Amino acid sequence: MARYDPGWVRSYYDEYGMKEWERWDASPVEQVKLEVHLHYLRKYLEANDRILEIGAGPGRFTQHLAKISNRIVVADISPVQLQLNRDNAQAMGYDRSVGRWVECDMCDLHPHFGDAEFDTVVCYGGPLSYVFDQRDRAICELLRVTRPGGRLLLGVMSLWGTVHQFLADVLTLDPVMNRDIIATGDLGPDKPEAGNHFCHLYRAAELRQCLERAGAEIEVLSASNCLSATWAERLNDLQKDEATWRSLIDMEIEACREPGCLDMGSHLIAVCKAPG
């Protein structure tokens, strides 16, 4: 497995700016993914929860967390993303729900957060996909700062789901490189032909093993989108009818939890309980 480079991750997201916010609106396909992610926030978070949002970026999920709880701590490895998060919170009027903004590395939260400090930890958007060989350490840290029986909600990038959604582009790459990416799950700096976005793509079974190895009790494992992943053109029309769109979202939420569909969305979502 490729090695984690926190300096690269920090630099990448410093330059990425507001794209991390905007990508969820880039197409109806992305909006379906957003709705599936939000479903689990609304279902499992409570109004009095003390929440850590790690890898929060400019705040696309922070704004929704602020509708649930006013006891939020925002964390990110990128100082630029943290400032964008603070600016957006102030501009949109939910900054009072955020107690503080913390620059930190999810692989070592000890300097910033104590054991069992939070009722819920939210790690959406794929931060765990960037820590490569340090993923076990990162998961243990996320669970450490979650109170016993509290919840960890996280999202990672999916191997087969990414291939599913972007198959035409995937097939333009060298077949030998494709086989290596599929075998390892790694889009690393040794494969510049595949792009400059370096991350680990998970299989559902692999994510389950990582979480269980850390002692997490998995309550939900879900794809982010499976039914609509390759229907971008049709979704534009479906979205115009509110009832039809709502029906699609409801079907996605149900279908994405089916064992046979877990690897067919571009992201995997897990809801877990911390041990103890």
- Euclidean distance between CA atoms 23 and 17, whole angstroms: 11
Model confidence pLDDT, tens digit, residues 120-138: 999 999 999 999 999 999 9
Tell me the three state secondary structure of residue 198: coil
In this structure, are residues 60 and 89 in contact, taking their beta carbons and an 8 Å threshold? no
**pLDDT of 43-55, one tens digit each?**
999 999 999 999 9
Which amino acid is residue 188, in one-letter code?
A: G
Residue 73 falls inside a structural domain:
yes
Rounded-to-integer distance, Cα 56 and Cα 36, Å: 17
Report pTM: 0.96
Task: For residue 155, list its beta bridge partners.
Answer: 269
Q: Read off the pLDDT band of 216 (50, 70, 90).
A: very high
Looking at the domain assignment, is residue 1 inside a domain? no
pLDDT, position 276: 87
The verdict on residue 79 lying in a domain is yes
> In whole angstroms, how far apart are CA 242 and each of 10, 249, 250?
39, 11, 12
Residue 162 lies in a domain: yes
What pLDDT does 47 receive? 96
| pLDDT at residue 232, as a whole number | 86
Distance CA 141, CA 85 (A): 23
Name the domain count of the chain. Answer: 1
- Domain membership of residue 115 (yes or no) is yes
Per-position b or e across 39-74, b if 16+ CB within 10 A of its CB:
bbbeebbeeebbbbbbbbbbbbbbbbbbebbebbbb
**Residue 200, helix vs strand vs coil:** strand
Report yes or no on 77 lying in a domain: yes
Q: What is the mean pLDDT of the chain?
A: 95
CATH of the domain at 70: 3.40.50.150
Q: Is the pLDDT of residue 14 over 90?
A: yes
**Any domain includes 223:** yes
Domain containing 34 equals 6-273
Q: Is residue 56 part of a domain?
A: yes
